[in-house]
Amino acid sequence: MRTIVVCALLGLLLGGCEKAEKKGADQLYFDDLRAPVGAKVKILKDTNLNPPTGGKITVVGVVDPDFDRDELDRLLHAYVRQIEGREGFRNGKADSFELRIYGSEAQAKAESDRWLGRAARSAPGKKPEFENRQKLPLLKWAKKALGKMPQYTKKEIQPRILADPEALSLEVTLPYVKIDGSGDYVPKLTFRAAVNAFTSTAIVLFEKIAQLKKLTYIGRHDDQEVLKISIDRQQFDQAKIRVMEESFGRFQGKFIPFMEAGKMSHQEVAKKLAKHRRKTYLEMLGRLPKGQVTIAKRVKKSK
């Protein structure tokens, strides 16, 4: 009784008490688990058994079925920190625990195996094991990887990103617009510029999203689809696209001594680089299966 009174006084002063309230030899009661800010969770079960064989905590909660995967990770870790901090069991802390988070209240009440997230520790001294079955937030990751695109100032000319978390694939549609803030299409689209937009996008997405398996890039110009390239991770790695793009700088660097000696102009070097880039792009795309590459004639013919 004295412990409960002290706990109540500390609760008033400190906003809570970590000590367990004993209401029976085999079960303890603790303050409610606190979800991270912004997370909506309904706890259906929170039992803290305290038998002589060893304390065990079981927690069952429910979230929206579309709950973000990253947020679910954050929720699981937040709850585990609180669970592992509970004291008052015969051995001080619970010997084991199991936390399950469901996307359906019916499944949660049945405590079925169709949970979204789970964390558990089977014995004292062991590290908790975490499992997250929620779909990957591929769309969110893609938007974060590509970053802000301030050049798209017109509502009717906007990028589009479609994600398939189960297939781990993305479809990215980017209109070719000016960078002057007008949001208008570029007046003339070259083959080099069209393909460079693809390679830049592929590098960013495949390198920043390790789980990504396939990318379909669609380029639009004057409200028409002018470029469509599909590539999977193996093909991306085999093409060594980043190495290819970095090689253009080295190619240009070979002519710097000639420019410094006045033997070549900047225009002549730029022309050589453009020719070399076009040839390299054609070779790279030529190694992909024909069905994976579609280029509008007017773009392919342009330099």
Residues pairing with 117 in the sheet: 101, 132
Give just the sign of the alpha carbon dihedral 259, 264, 268, 274: negative
Which DSSP helix (H) or strand (E) runs through 61?
Answer: strand 56-62
Average pLDDT score over residue span 79-85? 97
Number of helices followed by number of strands (H, E) in the chain? 10, 14
> What per-residue string of b and e applies to 271-290 under the rule 16 or more CB within 10 Å gives b?
eebeeebbebbeebbeebee
Question: What is the per-residue pLDDT across 235-248, written as a single tens digit (0 to 9) for each?
Answer: 999 999 999 999 99
Q: Quick one: tokens of 66?
A: 């579309």
Question: What is the per-residue pLDDT across 213-232, written as a single tens digit (0 to 9) for each?
Answer: 999 999 999 999 999 999 99
Average pLDDT score over residue span 48-56? 93
Q: What is the pLDDT of residue 5?
A: 37
The set of residues, in sequence order, having a beta carbon less than 8 Å from that of 260 and lying 6+ positions away, is none
Q: Is 102:63 a contact under the CB 8 Å cutoff?
A: yes
Compute φ and ψ for 122, nearest 5 degrees.
-90, -20
The residue that leads in pLDDT, 3 or 50, is 50
Q: Is 97:121 a contact under the CB 8 Å cutoff?
A: yes
Q: Is 186:220 a contact under the CB 8 Å cutoff?
A: no
Q: Is 193:201 a contact under the CB 8 Å cutoff?
A: no
Q: What angle do CA 141, 147, 152 make, to 5 degrees?
A: 125
- The alpha carbons of the chain give a radius of gyration, in whole angstroms, of 29
Residue 46 has pLDDT above 60, yes or no: yes
Q: Is 203:241 a contact under the CB 8 Å cutoff?
A: yes
Residue 172 has, within 13 A of its CA and on its CB side, a CA count of 28
Residue with tokens 């240009």: 252
What is the side-by-side strand order in the sheet with 293-295? 160-164, 169-175, 214-221, 224-232, 293-295
DSSP for 150-186 reads TT---TTS--EEEEETTTTEEEEEEE-B-SSSS-PBP
C-alpha to C-alpha distance for 86 and 106, rounded to whole angstroms: 28
Q: Quick one: tokens of 64?
A: 């929206």
Residues pairing with 217 in the sheet: 172, 229
User: Residue 12 — very low, low, confident or very high, per pLDDT cuts 50/70/90?
Assistant: very low
Q: Among 23-37, 122-136, 151-165, 238-252, name the one with the lowest average pLDDT.
A: 23-37
- Give the amino acid at 114: R
Q: How confident is the prediction for the chain on average, in pLDDT?
A: 90
